[in-house]
Structure 1
């Protein structure tokens, strides 16, 4: 129990010690408070920050804290946003040299975008990491504008002094950049306009208007942004001028109407407006609108002006054109009158109760009183439209003229119905693609849709009619139909012939070649390439690597490797056979699995399989045939031969089989000359191998043997050993690793 009490007391002590150490590292940071600026005489701690006036922006705060700060600690003075939030604080100052001073002043400058009444400050430390208390909220403004504002209606920077208007106006701050980024206080005749804080003010009431930038209740007075005062009079004229109601507002051709102001005054000046544009010279108390003037239809108003009264403009009077109806041609300006075809002309109109008359070459077409006209003759056509209802009756307008012509000839264009390549395509459809009407001046009009089914057709091959082919298309599916095709077409005395379409279809026949072998063994070897196609009367050539090698041999005996094919000329096209690749003999085509020397543990067997040949013969050391299959099983040591055939070629490979030694590398030999254990004999796995290196060192580490293909013949004499039980060191390795190493004790 005593031991348990000691452990308990020790645990409590350790916990108290850890808590003490932790508290020793903690610090408490108080809220920063405004401090005196030592660079200004007679200054005192600031109650608010009004920076920027004259470029001034230097302030101080006092920072106090308690606890212990580490050597790398930094105190960072931070500023909240205008609402007092530290979600994204601004860094005002970073202090690195006050880690042992718990009461110090530091200077800072506020950001140029600071404007508001709710800014707070705090201090945080970095080592240890602590966040101090937040300060009270302060008015803080960076006053980048500290000169008088200008307000105007035009926004041109010129103080207007007074404005007289019958309608509401807008005043705007016009002499600072980005005026929308500030808040303002607008006044009318000394009264604050509550809620008006933007850079513009909509005014509908007379008064004396001014504005200044709102830098808060403390800083605004030192901003010096008071604007000019604008005396605004709204509706001061009060004369209620208007235009007397006219007799007519819809005028017909030849009509006129005089517009007059309802009241006049000798002191007034007048100006008449048409669609808000002043009419040059129209400065009397009345104005006459003449329907003979183009574009007379418009909105008219009169404006008065005089010293001491506001300029005033009347409501508009709209004058319209009673004859303002339209006549539209609904067909092309030029049409082609085709044989056996009728063209329809058409007009539309907005006239009231219209009537129609049609004219050809300025001569009326009697009885044609519809908005449409069917024609079969050449000529120049138009319709006369008369308005017989509404305010203006018996007024007429002509439609635009349509010129109808008969073709001098037709152009017939035939084409391939699908992509075509000579001697590649095996079937094709030819068809009428376009029919153009050709006028006397050479201009063409596409009339395919109108006439493609009206013509009669005949297809011709090499100048001769193709029997039964009288449609607008022809299908060709055999190389026996190759030739030059044209299409003749007839309609109402027109006889036309199309362009020529050459056709050279490839036969659907195939040529196949075979060879007696695909491997070329040697100059004495003959490989024959042939075909079952009858070449007796054909024009052909054998090609090696796409170059002709023979045009007379019906079968080809080749004497070198390459890619061979047969090209047969048939109906003007080259008919190409399959390709046969004759490769040179490559001994690597025959592979063994497993490859390399075969080592058999004594009393076991191993099967070796050959691949890549067409026939095999396995021979033993006595040249006796062991097998003709692709594999053989070995049970005895020796050198064996494989004769593998690839078509007519033979490849010989040898297989060496050895018996795995069961003894280990000896570490003792006796060189007493009795013929027993006189030499260092190592297993066959390491001896007599050209790729195995045997190295022997003496007791001093000097090489005394360094051989590849070691023949189990060390030492060759016993005279080199000067004393009993000499120790040597050996290392057996190949090109990449040490296979065996150890010591050899030589006993005399």
Structure 2
């Protein structure tokens, strides 16, 4: 009886063991090696989408909460610290084979990455994929070295330093703005061939040749490369110092100042039209003016010189009036401009206030004041030219005044500068005008007074000086009085 009970208990335990084992077997899956939908992954801001396909079995073993994940190794294929690329939604992947899409992190850079697939319920891990090159091209545009100079030189026994510009001029997208990037320097061996020289952000050249640098994206093709610089050795005499204009030549001054750059040296001196430009002693010189610019570069044991005929694309424009213009009270002045500007735009101002309805190349001036007109080129080289001019009332040498003034102030301010008397006593009236000092010395006597005294410096000894006048008409009418000349 005791033996029977023991046997029964063993039987029950065996049944539970079989059922448990069967459940465990049913809860396991096998995930196949992921197949890649690409041979290399060359990602960028404009493209970063990749896929992998894998099989798993049995599909019936998946828990409703299961999630598939994609993990990526480091650049050497090591999964000690994998990068998570993708996680599926719970229960969203239930059929085999399955295809999952993923993107690369911006820090991806290497030739031997691998991926693997993992499931969460039940837990399983696939074998590693084939190795593949993967790079995220965070900078994928041409950039400049040595400010776009095409030629450079070094003295025999010396060297020339090539550097990546940061930031450089114009729209240059310097890769140095992205600290994670590395660089490979090359020397051309033919029109389409080159050899690797070294890595780094600079290259010290002591061998003649044409050099350039590329951002290191391994086997991935890229647009992240520099301009070419041809470097020569100078044994004696002067080398050619090429000058490059950052805005091109001709250049558009509407874009601001253009930067003239020459090759690297120990010291520099710039010239314009043959004359030294004071304090222009750097590798670069900014200007917005046309002209012949030259530079002398000290290279150490030798020197280099160069010149550029810099031409501005600024349009031509002329105006038909001078800076100072005079019209009568009831007159007008026709002002017009002639210009070569593309799609010109005109703005006219009177006393710094815009004249809203004046928008063409001519204007009829009827008011006295300070005028300004700005003509702008609105297509091509965007730039402007400004013209200013004054329009004043014409001076009347014989204004109709009622009284004979007793004060003049010849200081050139346009008010009381000369002694102006009523028109019945001036030129053409046969009136005699006599002016004398307080000591009786005659300083003016005329029968044709032109309202123009004093014309010359009086050499006044006091702050104010008094003169006396006698006006005698043709009918022997006499007017007498004093004139105080205020200094």
Q: Same fold (TM over 0.5)?
A: no
Higher CA-based Rg = 1
TM bucket (normalised to shorter chain) is: 0.3 to 0.5
What TM-score does the superposition give when structure 2 sets the normalisation length? 0.43
Q: Greater relative contact order (Cα 8 A, min sep 6): structure 1 or 2?
A: 2
What TM-score does the superposition give when structure 1 sets the normalisation length? 0.29
